[in-house]
Structure 1
């Protein structure tokens, strides 16, 4: 249905979508910190939701691709999965975490300039200035997303990184549940459990400053998972998976739940669905959608996707001092639009240059290390 071939490990549009999601978050934060506003682009949290959806899709997609080579009834497959995901995320994150702690005081001063100029509530000092052992250990262990006090306590946009690691930890168990109950029933049951946990937390007065706790975003992960689970299905069943994913996007949990935001989340699911299942749209429209999907896998978008994780982690470290400089130097003498244009003209090249260097020096070696470690492991026999 989606030109899916088990021998092909590539879906063109994924590169472009993850690259654009990272760029959306960067541009959205630049708009927020320069005082200019553009529809849709000024909502960086939606770019994060797109990232989350893509993560859910990719985990299931690779789960299916590796099912023959790495059967999921072997405990060694689970360990290999966790090694692969840890070394994809942790090396670069640890580097940026150290840099954020070192530059915390400077970044805090920059943010105070921005917040005062824009008339916004100042950021909590501990987000930038807490270099204590407890905060460090919570972040190095990726446990910070489980605690409202530590989920938003560094200058990085890393609340979503902790969320991602929680998803990786739970993923094999979630797939067992979905496989046993059926994909759609299992997804619904998982979403109900997550919503129940969120409701219980609200009753107990537990509130996260950002949706860093997995139940708050489980429904968005499930959106991507359902789209991947429908790749083998016929037309009606694939459409049913798409409809279920759109319904899950409407769950009123996990961040800003205005009607507009909820509708935009549904649109994101719909766009992803038509790029994957373009043949359902008919020959004429399907051909155009296929061309768009293929173009999102060209060389430019491939590298935009490869550098997306680094760009996501780096951008606030560059953005806040640059924005603070233009505010201090020019104040109201330039318009918000001009301020945004000047900041992004400097920001985007610097961020992608840093992301490219980090990809070559840190991310790629981490991926190679994961392959070596997994290659040395002997599969453990399945239990009867």
Structure 2
């Protein structure tokens, strides 16, 4: 078993989470300003890193808590769902209302951007649908299952619906894994998910991969890397090899050679960081240093603010880009740089406020509701 698997904090997780959010932000700045740089200009890859991290973290916490919260117990499922709901919903609901109320203004900005970049305009109903049905679909987190509602706000919230589907399915996936083992259990889960994805895609078009089977293989890759922390070396490397194969499955996103190569590189990087103790000599030293560096105070803050930055950034960035197009003629690269210079401080300042005033109190409610009587007494 890896030393990290014995309970030591894995320092790099906050840094990777923070970098994933920043990657999405920078990638969207590329798209909106018409300036394109491969890899860093692709926000989908940042989302895939988020998804892999989510799969990893859920299994990591499951492994550490399963002695006191066994997943065979429905009470554990309820506690898990309550905690995850209050971690996500408190800030999301507020940002959702803001996005729907300001939809017409964001839409006007996006029309300026799309016309300038010479691309097909975004559908008006993505920004202008403030109907009760749209509110209900998003407040219930069912929107990711519905192609017509999966991409219907100014937020990049299709992945939030996807995440909630993963949380809903996780207890049942872990029961399968508990009975069949990590490798066989996740392989069967991904196989069934791919069959479901093919059947659904044959009948419906999802504008974004918001339906869990379209991204289950990426979640499963992160889950395997976490489960491997408690495995002997040979099985850990088998899990690593399977994770590499899973991210190559041509479902749920851009499938170019470059994108696939980056996804493989992310798995390699992730495994190297969290399994540093498995490597010999200088390789282990370098991996531990990188792990520690990504866990420093700056990256810790970046990770804590990542959810807010992910939700907020498009609401700030699109009006900024539209204003620059209308009032400050410059090159695409210059507009990209100015956009980031203006947007990043605003986004992270608002994310800090949201984190302190909304996210932390929401998390505290979730913990309070799931505190067992004996733990509360102690």
User: Is the structural similarity TM-score above 0.5?
Assistant: yes
Distance 2:221 2:5 in 1: 22
Distance 2:236 2:296 in 1: 26
Q: TM-score, normalised by structure 1?
A: 0.95
Q: Return closer, same or farther for 1:25/1:78 CA change in 2, 3 Å cut-off.
A: same
- SS of equivalent residue, structure 1 residue 231: helix
Shift of 1:3: 3.1
Alignment partner, residue 367 of structure 1:
363
CA contact under 8 A between 2:2 and 2:231: conserved in structure 1?
Answer: no
Shift of 1:377: 6.0
Shift of 1:69: 1.8
Distance 1:149 1:377 in 2: 44
Alignment partner, residue 286 of structure 2:
288
Distance 1:247 1:376 in 2: 41
CA contact under 8 A between 1:2 and 1:276: conserved in structure 2?
Answer: no
Alignment partner, residue 268 of structure 1:
266
Among candidates 195, 206, 209, match of residue 207 of structure 2: 209
Alignment partner, residue 111 of structure 1:
110
Which residues of 2 match residues 283-362 of structure 1 at below 5 A?
A: 283-331=281-329, 334-362=330-358
CA contact under 8 A between 2:4 and 2:274: conserved in structure 1?
Answer: no
Q: TM-score, normalised by structure 2?
A: 0.97
Structure 1: gaps of 5 or more residues: 380-384
- SS of equivalent residue, structure 2 residue 230: coil
Shift of 1:157: 0.1
Structure 2: gaps of 5 or more residues: none
Shift of 1:376: 5.1
Q: Return closer, same or farther for 1:377/1:154 CA change in 2, 3 Å cut-off.
A: farther
Distance 1:188 1:7 in 2: 26
Distance 2:244 2:188 in 1: 16
Q: Deviations over 1:230-252 (max 9, x none)?
A: 00112221111111001000000
Q: Deviations over 1:87-125 (max 9, x none)?
A: 000010000000001110000000000000010110000
1:87 aligns with 2:86: yes
CA contact under 8 A between 2:316 and 2:347: conserved in structure 1?
Answer: yes
Alignment partner, residue 382 of structure 1:
none
Q: Deviations over 1:190-237 (max 9, x none)?
A: 11101101111233x211000000000000000000000000112221
Q: Deviations over 1:336-366 (max 9, x none)?
A: 1111111110100000000000000000001
Q: Deviations over 1:135-158 (max 9, x none)?
A: 110000000000000000000000
Distance 1:231 1:278 in 2: 10
Distance 1:213 1:378 in 2: 39
Alignment partner, residue 277 of structure 2:
279
Alignment partner, residue 162 of structure 2:
163
Shift of 1:280: 3.3
Q: Return closer, same or farther for 1:5/1:245 CA change in 2, 3 Å cut-off.
A: closer
Regions of 4+ moved over 3 Å: 5-8, 376-379
